[in-house]
């Protein structure tokens, strides 16, 4: 009978836990906006959904706009 050959352990350690993706935590935000902004936001979300574009949720669009504004005025890096 042949014995299985002894295998050398890998030279790099094997992680026991799979890598986890970092998902930002979300918090609620309630605000009032002008009619024009609301209409434009609705049109944008519907158009993006029809085109199956990423970032088609109100949450994504508002988050992107706020991020840009906060960076512009130095509140985010």
CA–CA gap between residue 62 and residue 51 (Å, rounded) = 19
Q: Which residues contact 49 (CB under 8 A, 6 or more apart)?
A: 56
Domain ranges of the chain: 35-72
What tokens appear for 41 in the block? 């936001």
In the prediction, which pLDDT does 40 show?
A: 97
Per-residue pLDDT reduced to its tens digit, 22-74? 878 999 999 999 999 999 999 999 999 999 998 889 999 999 999 999 999 99
Residue 55 · residue 64 · CB < 8 Å: yes
CA–CA gap between residue 77 and residue 32 (Å, rounded) = 27
């Amino acid at each position: 009978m042949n014995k299985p050959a002894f295998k050398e352990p890998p030279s790099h350690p094997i992680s026991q836990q799979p890598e986890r993706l970092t998902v930002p935590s979300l918090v609620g935000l309630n605000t009032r906006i002008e009619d024009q902004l609301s209409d434009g936001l609705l049109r944008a979300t519907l158009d993006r959904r029809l085109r199956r574009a990423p970032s088609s949720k109100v949450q994504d669009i508002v988050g992107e706009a706020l991020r840009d504004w906060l960076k512009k005025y130095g509140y985010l890096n």
